[in-house]
Structure 1
Amino acid sequence: MADTRLIQGRYRLLDLIGRGGMGEVWRALDESLERKVAVKCLKPVGPQHDPSFTRVLRERFRREARVAAALQHRGVTVVHDFGEHDGVLYLVMELLEGRNLSQLLEDNKAHPLDVADVVDIAEQVAWALAYTHEQGIVHRDLKPANIMRLADGTVKICDFGIARLGHDIGFTSRLTGTGIAMGTPHYMSPEQISGVEVDHRSDLYSLGCVLYEIATGVPPFDLDDAWAVLVGHRDTPPEPPRTHRPELPGFFDRMVLDLLAKTPGERPADARELAHRLTAARSSGPVAAHAPRLPAGRPEQPPSRAPRLPSWTRGMTTGHKASGTWALPPTPPDPSAGLTGEWTTGVDLRAAAAVPVARRPERPTPPPEVLAVLNSRHNAGLSLGRLGRWNEAGEVHRAVAAEREHALGPDHPDTLASHYEVGFTLSRTGRAADALREFGHVAEGRERTMGPDHPETLAARQEMAYVLGQLGRHFEAHQVYAAVLASRERTMGAEHPDTLRCRHNLAFNLSRLGRLEDSYRMAHEVATARARVLGATHPDTLVTRYEVAYALGQLGRWAEALQMYREVAQDRARALGADHPDTLAARYEVGISLGRLGRSAEALELYRALVDDRTRVHGPADPETLRARHGLGVNLGRLARWEEALAEARDVCAIRERVLGADHPDTLVSRREVAVGLGWLGRWSDALTVYRQVAEARERVLGADHPDALASRNDEAHCLEQLGRGAEAAELYRRVAALRQQRGARSH
């Protein structure tokens, strides 16, 4: 993995920041969002595991990663992304600047931490566990190395889901001859040691062990022999922490001993109860006889009568009421959450100045903790979208948009960022018309507040153009793309990545308008510019080269298209990996090109290999696997192997109907392929029945004058001719011609 440096064409590994039993952690750059992240690369599975185990492991990894990515709490490390690259499973997480508790103890030369810090850490971890346990998630490997304390005092739990995965892979060590799975012996609960099913109270026991160690400097059973440690957890009552450190508060001593009860039923009922105990104890008075240490150079503050706030609130302001124009406290920009830093409303300031102050509407600045919660929920929606869970993501973004609108106002950038994400989820769930309205609303709001040439305004207008294309309104899309492109070139320059992205989209749309030469020329220019600016094998460059190949095919220049698709497939395999969806998509187009050139035997072999790879990576019922199988069937037919082609078409059609629905376009394409096979086998009566089914479905879904519906009626007429029913065929041909003429008249 260290030699790869770039994962999935997006995450560039910078330097190694940690290594453990399950793999390595790298500081990395997310080149798509231009932010620093942490990438955890799990050790490759050894050759001792058979393929079926490996498939199960990958599925378990995806499931555990999705669980971790769904957790959104300030006390839990955020998981941004996950996947597999060159056989290595990886997680992309927020990059935390701080030290884990094990490192803090080492920094302190194994001396315990300050009492106030210990209680603060205990309270924050308790609240984080309360949240995760209420989501039905048990950590199972809580230990000092899995708890981070950031520079601002925030405490975060790391590696949810990874402990169970490690157990499955076999990375956890085992006691010789016992068969007992060894997590980390010093922090294992008695029920883990006994091998029985564990619940959230096992995490509470492990937390007790962690708190014991950071408060006293030693774990509760500080023995050299692993078996003796396990026996201690199972059978020996721990010494009270105050025997090691008398200045510990009495409530803390009792709480830790409660957590270390041998049976789960004797421990606190849940982490929320524990958190309330800690909060109540802290608010009742100081937890240590001495003041906590202050960093060098920081002056001591006079004592305050205000209750002590959690450390994560440090640096936050309480807000203020505004008059006239107002601004949020300066906030570092966060592209993923749509934050824009300091911002003022889009009110015309000169007009506002003429309004008496008493009559101007005031909007109080929301409390920082409210903004933090909304930002966290916004990020949760983004995470759901990255996982392809678009409906759930849309629900989250709609709720956040409503709350941001109430708290910040309808034209605040964060409110508009949420509406933008709502539009994005609508476009990904087939609701293009609704998405168009949402993006239009965002574009208008951003133009009012930021100006017509602001990058965020242009981004919303560009999405409007994309959705217009989804709706088949390609001329309108062209007009919007052209206007956005002119603005981007004027304000950013001709070779800015955003400008090139817009030109790429415009080239794509030109092909849909039938302007194939213009589409090819523009795509070629963009590919050349992207290669110069981003590099020849950058994913964006390869996307445009793929579009160049598509344009060549549309122009009938299939030999050139084939060469281009092959180059793109090879470069994507090197840059993104052989199993990346974009690599597999390019291989599919290689097969299309081979078929168009009459090289069906080569196409058939390519599709067989592609079906195997798609099935292995995505499963037998994935739409792209079925698309590859469809291509295989078509080429069987071209080789006159019609019995095999018919069997393949029927099988693919049945799966598509089950997975996609009876009237889905792909299902209807497969059903038509069944009719083609029946016709070539001379079974024209059966073929006629199927052709009619396809025509009726397309008319029902698309309309009687849609080109696909008209093509299906032509198929039906041809079939009637083959059956000697010439009069019926002629009447159907006339009907199709009339509908085409009507459609043409409307378009002019």
Structure 2
Amino acid sequence: MADTRLIQGRYRLLDLIGRGGMGEVWRARDESLGRQVAVKCLKPLGPQQDQSFTRIMRERFRREARVAAALQHRGVTVVHDFGEDNGVLYLVMELLDGRNLSQLLEENEQHPLPVPHVVDIAEQVADALAYTHGQGIIHRDLKPANIMRLTDGTVKICDFGIARLGHDIGFTSRLTGTGIAMGTPHYMSPEQIGAGHVDHRSDLYSLGCVLYEIATGAPPFDLGDTWSVLVGHRDTIPEPPRKHRSELPEFFDRLVLDLLAKTPEERPTDAGDLRRRIGAARTAPASGPPGTVLGGTELGSPGPVSTGPHTPPAFAARDGDAAPYHPDGAGPPPDGSRLPSWARSMTTGHKATGVSVLRPTPPDHTAGLTGEWTRPADPRATTGTYPAAARPTPSPEQLAVLVSRHNAGLSLGRLGRWEEAGEVHRAVAAEREHALGPDHPDTLASRYEVGFTLSRTGRTADALREFTRVAEGRARALGPDHPDTLAARQETAYVLGQLGRHFEAHDVFAAVLASRERTMGPDHPDTLRCRHNLAYNLSRLGRLEDAYRLAHTVAAARARVLGAGHPDTLVSQYEVAYALGRLGRWPEALGAYREVAAVRARALGPDHPDTLSARYEIGISLGRLGRSEEALDLYRGLVADRVRIQGPLHPETLRARHGFGVNLGRLARWDEALAEAREVCAAREQVLGADHPDTLVSRREIAVGLGWLDRWPEALTVYRRVAEARHRVLGAVHPDTLAARNDEAHCLEQLGRGAEAVELYRQVAALRQQHGTRGR
């Protein structure tokens, strides 16, 4: 097919990205929505083909479309559309940015994948199968090539091409009666081979084969010919995976052997049971050798492997939202984290840690994602009551001066003057280290504040090093379960999230949570706060259902422990609403945000920043529901209130104006939208700086408006400026930088400069692959 071919006058085929037994898969552009998609076309069948065979193949393709389009789960490839064009059947799917498991093994020279990745893949596939089996659908051809791992770690099952509804026996009989192979030999269950009754447990057997292969480097019956493989499935007991790879945890060994049981009755009951077993094992103490991590990526292990420019990343999507900020987000909040009065006066920490200064509830889940964080302003660090180290004791006057300067640094931070605060804390840390020693708790308290200011000023990698140093020092001086040690480890997880290393962040959060539950109890506010942040990190891993369930649980626990109107409770309810939005359940999200806004208005007042933040989220939800006229009215009022309360140049005022401009665009009022984007960008540059994430999002919005007005040369200039700024600030391989480069390539395509666009897409793909390789 030519690159210029249009399917149904809508989907322009760009380049071939895959071939299979049923047909070809193309990267394409949806001309109606301006997004890139994957289009699967049934391989044309010539007149020499048996007409019965042709009819069955076409029937099966339509079946795939109907089945796949009905599936809505994060672990299953999304199908947007299907139909027939000039005799060619086609299926339009989301364009996945990642590698299938077969490719990962091949790129790894058939060496097995890291243990944490294997366990995570097992858990995510089990979750997806639990959903599809619950819909009465059996995959019937589960194999490494049909399981994708995306660049963000999300795992998706692909190609339900020979799936069937469990109750539709007649249809399956007609398909199998043609002699068309149903399944792939290395991954076929004994009942498939023997033409016995096939149900959901056949998929579990196939999953066992897949897990065996990615854990050991070879499938369980890797024999010389197809017949030997089939006989092996039917008659041979597989060797335990740990015989080939001793570092595999014992629970995984048992799990895989259970999946590979010869009869369905001996296997796990269902995929839900399998998912629960994995989850229970991941939260239990590791049974593998030291250093084995079951729940994600440990330091030094491979990260997700990237493939290139198939899926436009988050910044390429026209959602009109500003750069993410969250405890696991991509940048510092724009307002300097001014604390509301209730947070300044609250004491929620453990007695040993004193006052916990809360990071404020951010204003929205895309320009300021929902959540909170605990930042202990340790009173012992300001009173000098720690025991002295084994060195000459500094004078009381010297200690008093250092305490005063430490407190001054804290005050600068509360005012949002993070650069100045960092300078103060660095100087105090150096003097405390000289006077008290590197592992003295006062020294580490100053180092902790240095790390915090680094994270607030965008120096995330430096912050990670500082927090790691503090956590190690506190573990030596205070013990691994001391609240201050846990606070430092939790900040380490935070900056890992900022760096996009969410698997590692997940591991740290989970470990800190286990320690907090053990030492403080499950309902302690600090435990609930850690669980809350773990829920958010799950959403960043794409595990949205898990994130939603956990956030819902935390909200209920906080309501029970702290009260329904407590700010922490409302923050968790806010997170529940956010998760609902990420799941596409926008009507429910809208209702949840409205409930939070109403309670905050009663408890905190209508002009409280948290109340205004919830109102902003109502506007986001209205826009996503296509109710942009209502969203415009809401933002118009919100802008007026923000101006009255905080002034016209406050970052939150500018964020509300940004939302207003986005919805002007959604209503095709592009001249007005462009003007608003220019004004907001200029104001953000003045207030936040030219390279601040929010400023760059507004600058990108200018390019979007220019594109919609068909002013592509100007748009290209702006897109390039955004890409260069992100490259300078974040680095060449940061996801936001790569997203900006993809924007630039898309603009080149619109200008007819296809060769340059292809070359830029290839460069992005190479950087992503290099980044994934470097993580190994």
TM-score using structure 2 length: 0.49
Aligned equivalents of 2:443, 2:769: Cα separation in 1: 48
In 1, distance between residues paired with 2:377 and 2:763?
Answer: 58
| Counterpart residue number, 1:503 | 531
Rounded to whole Å, the distance in 2 between the matches of 1:735 and 1:410 is 44
**Offset of 1:720 from its aligned partner?**
4.7
Q: Is 1:484 the equivalent of 2:512?
A: yes
Query: Identity across aligned pairs (percent)?
Result: 79
- Report the equivalent of 2:50: none
Alignment of 1:13-92 (within 5 A): 30-32=346-348
Q: What corresponds to 2:655 in structure 1? A: 627
Q: Which amino acid counterpart does residue 472 of structure 1 have in structure 2?
A: G
- The one-character-per-residue Cα deviations of 1:512-556 (angstroms, maximum 9, x if unpaired) are 122111111111111111111111111111111111111111111
Q: Which of residues 644, 649, 654 is equivalent to 1:616?
A: 644
**Cα distance in 1 between the residues matched to 2:535 and 2:400:** 41
Q: Relative to structure 1, is the Cα distance of residues 458 and 733 closer, same or farther in structure 2, using a 3 angstrom cutoff? A: closer
What are the equivalent positions in structure 2 for 1:330-729 lying under 5 Å apart? Answer: 335-338=378-381, 344=387, 363-702=391-730, 706-723=734-751
Say whether the 8 Å CA contact 2:382–2:407 is kept in structure 1: no
Change in Cα spacing, 1:669 to 1:372, as seen in structure 2 (3 Å) is closer
Report matched runs for 1:167-182 at 5 Å: none
Letter in 1 for 2:342: G
Other-structure match for 2:142: none
Q: Distance in 1 between matches of 2:386 and 2:716?
A: 65
Whether 1:9 and 2:342 are equivalent positions in the alignment is yes
Which structure carries more relative contact order (alpha carbon 8 Å, separation 6+)? 2
Deviation at 1:738, TM superposition (A): 6.0
The answer (yes or no) to whether the contact 2:719–2:744 under 8 Å persists in 1 is yes
Corresponding letter in the other structure for 1:9: W
Alignment RMSD (CA, Å): 3.2
Deviation at 1:744, TM superposition (A): 6.2
Matching of residues 138-149 of structure 1 within 5 Å: none
Q: Distance in 1 between matches of 2:516 and 2:741?
A: 46
Partners of 1:552 and 1:416 in 2: how far apart? 39
- 2: CA distance, partners of 1:548 / 1:515: 14
Displacement of 1:717? 4.8
Alpha-carbon distance between aligned partners in 2 of 1:524 and 1:33, rounded to the nearest angstrom: 22
Task: Specify the code of the residue in structure 1 equivalent to 2:381.
Answer: G
Contact 2:731–2:737 (Cα < 8 Å) also in 1: yes
Q: Structure 1's 726 and 388: CA in aligned 2 closer, same or farther, altered over 3 A?
A: closer
User: Could you tell me how far 1:651 is from its partner in structure 2?
Assistant: 1.4
Kindly indicate whether the alpha-carbon contact (under 8 Å) linking 2:722 and 2:740 is maintained by their aligned counterparts in 1: yes
Contact 1:339 1:413 in 2 (8 A): no
Cα distance in 1, alignment partners of residues 570 and 648 from structure 2: 27
TM-superposed deviation, 1:579: 2.6
**Alignment partner of 1:579: what SS?**
coil
CA 1:661–1:417: 2 relative to 1, 3 Å: closer
Aligned counterparts of 1:395 and 1:529: Cα–Cα separation in 2: 40
Q: Distance in 2 between matches of 1:698 and 1:334?
A: 32
> Would the aligned equivalents of 1:345 and 1:449 in 2 still touch at CA under 8 Å?
no
Deviations 1:180-208 (A, max 9, x none): xxxxxxxxxxxxxxxxxxxxxxxxxxxxx
Larger gyration radius, structure 1 or structure 2: 1
8 Å contact 1:401–1:419 — kept in the other structure? Answer: yes
**2:341 is aligned with what amino acid?**
Q
1:17-73 CA deviation, whole Å, 9 max, x = no partner?
A: xxxxxxxxxxxx6445799xxxxxxxxxxxxxxxxxxxxxxxxxxxxxxxxxxxxxx
Compared CA separation, residues 374 and 713, structure 1 to 2 (3 A): closer
CA distance in 1, matches of 2:421, 2:588: 41
Q: In the TM superposition, what is the alpha-carbon distance from 1:8 to its structure 2 partner?
A: 3.3
Contact 1:334–1:340 under 8 Å retained in 2: no
Per-residue CA deviation, residues 459-484 of structure 1 (Å, 9 max, x unaligned), is 11111111221222211111111111
Cα deviation, residue 615, structure 1: 2.0
Q: CA deviation at 1:493?
A: 0.7
Q: 1:593 to 1:745 in 2, by over 3 A?
A: farther
Instruction: Identify unmatched segments of 5+ residues in structure 2.
Output: 1-339, 352-356, 359-375
Distance 1:683 1:446, change over 3 A: closer
Q: 1:435 to 1:719 in 2, by over 3 A?
A: closer
Q: Amino acid of the residue matched to residue 621 of structure 1?
A: L
1:542/1:730 Cα in 2 relative to 1: closer, same or farther (>3 Å)? same
Shift of 1:617: 2.5
Tell me the distance in 2 between the aligned counterparts of 1:397 and 1:743.
33
8 Å CA contact 1:687–1:719 kept in 2: the answer is yes
Q: TM-score, normalised by structure 1?
A: 0.51
Q: 1:456 to 1:651 in 2, by over 3 A?
A: same
Opposite residue 445 of structure 2, the aligned amino acid is A
1:603 CA drift (Å): 0.5
